[in-house]
Amino acid sequence: MSERKKVFIKTYGCQMNVYDTARMKDVLAPLGYAAVETPAGADLVVLNTCHIREKAAEKVYSDLGRLRPLAAEKAEAGGRMLVAVAGCVAQAEGEAMKKRAPIVDIVLGPQTYHRLPEMVARALRDEGAVFDTEFPVEPKFDFLPPPGAEGPSAFLAIQEGCDRFCTYCVVPYTRGAEYARPAADVLAEAKRLVATGARELTLLGQNVNAWAADGWSFGRLLRELAEIDGLARLRYTTSHPLAVDDELIAAHRDVAKLVPFLHLPIQSGSDRVLKAMNRGHTAADYLRTVERLRAARPDLAMSSDFIVGFPGETDAEFAETLAVIREVGFIQAFSFKYSARPGTPAALMPNRVPQEVAEARLAAVQAALGELQAAFNAGCVGRVLPVLFDRPGRHPGQLIGRSPTMQAVHAEAPADAMGTVRPVRIVGVGPNSLAGELLSGDEREAAE
Ligand code: SAH
Ligand code: SF4
Ligand code: F3S
């Protein structure tokens, strides 16, 4: 092992990037790189970027600008700060990044980060800027070291890429074609994560419920994972409505460890807009899927993604989105103003919605979603929820955990409650969290 060096990795975008950042730390550790929390003084800075909307992509360049004085300081002290750009902006822009930001030494895509050590070595040998944004034939997963302890709640990437080509979206271009990891690899990684302390697994994929491998459906995979002793909860994200099949619905009925919470993007409530988006489903199809899921799991809470101001979206079409939001009663959602992305079909569509109209629609969607969320949270007061404690609280003696429906719950709890699921009575609602009290031993017995 070489001398200790410092790597700072900044993560933008989705949970897949969070997972990838952890894996990059794993591949760099054997080279002597220890992860640090700030870029100042780092020997290697990696920006793990997101291309989904213009704002996210542009942020990378301002962050690169901010690295310049830090790299100069490092050089003055006789060292060298290597700068690598990874992730989806790197994949989309490739070598062009170097022209706009000469500080960049390495550009690598989401499918090549298992080769990062080799790229770092080449950059240090001063072979000029190193670019590697291919989609290699060998899946990177075969070359990654097994993940270390990830804490009580761990991510597990089981699927990557997307073949759906929604007309607004860059993901099929930045992440490539759909790839499903073999079932045995997924099971082995899940068991390792649980053996090192994970109580909850969140299965990740851009189109996670399209996973199918070795003759197994996604529903079958969920059943098999639920058999792992010591695992308390299973989640998955992000799923596509068209890939919700009978086996998955049956898994929601039968698999108790599968949380009663599902993030299922709809994007719009207008069939005309959904068609222009190439979503492949109507609003009624989506509602029917939710109905079938709720018939299987009556307490299923729903979350979603929305895009407002898609090209040509009229007031009446937007009103249909608001109607769907009320009809489903989402307890949480992400909503975005449409952002035209280079290379996507929607970027060429006429009838752009003016910014101020899109902004007003975004505010209306967020107000509707906020109301539903507040009502759901208020309805939790007085109930006893199983909470997985996974973080220290704001003061000693307090822990923060998550309910099955992803609400943050604060409670006074002993340190040994960390990493365990405990029954908690909800006693109050804050703007972004719930306040709870651990049940006493007697109460627990009575509840069981
Ligand atoms: N694979 C997932 C997530 C894709 S990205 C899915 O299909 O849902 C996450 C969300 O970003 C999308 O669901 C969509 O709501 C939003 N998004 C994607 N492209 C966008 C764009 N060009 N403008 C605004 N929002 C976008
Ligand atoms: Fe993008 Fe659509 Fe694929 Fe989701 S399903 S990643 S929105 S193309
Ligand atoms: Fe962004 Fe790439 Fe994820 S574009 S949302 S980081 S898949």
The CATH number assigned to the domain holding 208 equals 3.30.750.210
Instruction: Say yes or no: CB of residue 21 within 6 Å of ligand 2.
Output: no
228 C-alpha to center of ligand 3: Å? 30
pLDDT over threshold 50, residue 92: yes
Contact 297, 290 (CB under 8 A): no
Under the banding of pLDDT at 50, 70 and 90, the label for residue 448 is low
pLDDT, position 148: 77
The per-residue pLDDT for 146 is 82
Task: Answer whether 297 contacts ligand 2 (Cβ < 6 A).
Answer: no
Q: Are residues 220 and 114 in the same domain?
A: no
CA distances from 95 to 112, 161, 187, 414 (A): 15, 22, 37, 52
Domain span at residue 267 reads 260-378
Mutate to test the pocket of ligand 1, among 12, 14, 17, 52 (most ligand atoms within 8 A of CB): 52
For residue 396, give the CATH number of its domain: 2.40.50.140
Place of tokens 């997972």: 19
Domain endpoint, select from 203, 233, 258: 258
Rounded Cα distance, 381 and 379, in Å: 6
At 322, which amino acid appears? L
Q: In the chain, what percentage of residues exceed pLDDT 70?
A: 98
Q: What are the DSSP calls for 196-243, one per residue?
A: TT-SEEEEE-TTGGG--BTTB-HHHHHHHHHTSTT--EEEEE---GGG
Phi, psi of 337 (to 5 degrees): -80, 140
Considering only residues 432 and 291, tell me which one the structure prediction assigns the higher pLDDT: 291
Structural domain contains residue 157: no
Residue 91 placed within a domain:
yes
Asked, for residue 140, whether it belongs to a domain, the answer is: no
Question: What's the pLDDT score for residue 278?
Answer: 98
Whether 110 and 216 map to the same domain: the answer is no
Q: Which helix (H) or strand (E) holds 426?
A: strand 421-429
CB burial string 435-445: b at 16+ within 10 A, e below: bbebbeeeeee
List the single range of 2-6, 123-127, 304-308 with lowest mean pLDDT: 2-6
Domain count, the chain: 4
11 part of a folded domain: yes
Closest atom of ligand 3 to CA, residue 56: 1
The answer to whether residues 128 and 9 belong to one domain is yes
Query: Quick one: 24 and 45 in the same domain?
Result: yes
For residues 426-435, average pLDDT: 94
Q: Is 266 in the pocket of ligand 2 (CB under 6 A)?
A: no
Residue ranges in 213-354 assigned as alpha helix (H)? 218-226, 246-254, 271-276, 283-296, 315-328
Q: How far is the CA of 288 from the centre of ligand 2 (A)?
A: 21
How do residues 150-205 score in pLDDT, each as one tens digit? 889 999 999 999 999 999 999 999 999 999 999 999 999 999 999 999 999 999 99
The minimum-distance atom of ligand 2 relative to the CA of 277 is 2
Q: By C-alpha distance, which of 31, 39, 32 is closest to 10?
A: 39
137 domain-assigned: no
pLDDT for res 127:
87
Q: What is the CATH number of the domain that holds 57?
A: 3.40.50.12160
Give domain status of residue 156, yes or no.
Answer: no
Q: What span, in angstroms and rounded, lies between the C-alpha atoms of 199 and 386?
A: 13
187 with 294, same domain: the answer is: no
- Gyration radius of the chain's alpha carbons: 23
User: CA 193 to CA 186: how far, in whole Å?
Assistant: 11
List of residues 6+ apart from 415 with CB closer than 8 A? 399
pLDDT band for position 431 (cuts 50, 70, 90): confident
Q: What per-residue confidence (pLDDT) applies to 321? A: 98
305 CA distance to ligand 1 middle (Å): 7
Q: What is the mean pLDDT of residues 419-443?
A: 91
**Exposure pattern of 234-246 as b/e (b: 16+ CB <10 Å)?**
bbbbbbbbbebee
15 with 107, same domain? yes
Last residue of a domain, one of 87, 110, 132: 132
Ligand 2 pocket test: which of 14, 165, 281, 307 has the largest number of ligand atoms within 8 Å of its C-beta?
A: 165
**Residue 152 forms part of a structural domain:** no
CA of 129 to the centre of ligand 1 (A): 31
Pairing of strands 159-160, 179-180: antiparallel
- Domain check: are 361 and 433 in the same one? no
Q: Which two tokens stand for residue 41?
A: 């003084």
Mean pLDDT of 12-40: 96
Predicted confidence band at 445 (pLDDT cuts at 50, 70, 90)?
A: low
204 contacts 156 by C-beta, under 8 angstroms: yes
* 322 close to 369: Cβ distance less than 8 angstroms: no
Region at 87 (left for phi over 0; alpha for psi -120 to 50; beta for the rest): left
Of all helices (H) and strands (E), which one includes residue 72?
helix 54-76
CA of 52 to the centre of ligand 1 (A): 7
Q: Are residues 127 and 44 in the same domain?
A: yes
The pLDDT tens digits of the residues spanning 317-346 come to: 999 999 999 999 999 999 999 999 999 999
In a domain, residue 155? The reply is: no
Whether 351 and 372 share a structural domain: yes
Determine the atom of ligand 1 nearest the C-alpha atom of 170: 19
Ligand 1, atom 24, lies closest to the CA of 338
pLDDT at 305 over 60: yes
Mark whether 220 and 269 lie in a shared domain.
no
Please report the beta strands in 325-375, taking only residues with DSSP state E, as ranges in sequence order. 332-337
Report the candidate in 35, 33, 176, 156 with the shortest Cα–Cα distance to residue 112: 176
| Residues 390 and 341 reside in one and the same domain | no
Residue 310 and residue 354 in one domain:
yes
Mean pLDDT of 77-100: 96
- Nearest C-alpha to atom 1 of ligand 2 is from which residue? 169
| Separation of alpha carbons 297 and 299, rounded Å | 6
Ligand 1 pocket (Cβ < 6 Å) reads 52-53, 162, 168-169, 171, 206-207, 238, 240, 265, 267, 305, 307, 336, 338-339, 341
Confidence of residue 1 (pLDDT cuts 50, 70, 90): very low
* Dist. CA 3–CA 32, nearest whole Å: 6
Nearest residue by C-alpha to atom 7 in ligand 3: 171
* Chain mean pLDDT for the chain: 95
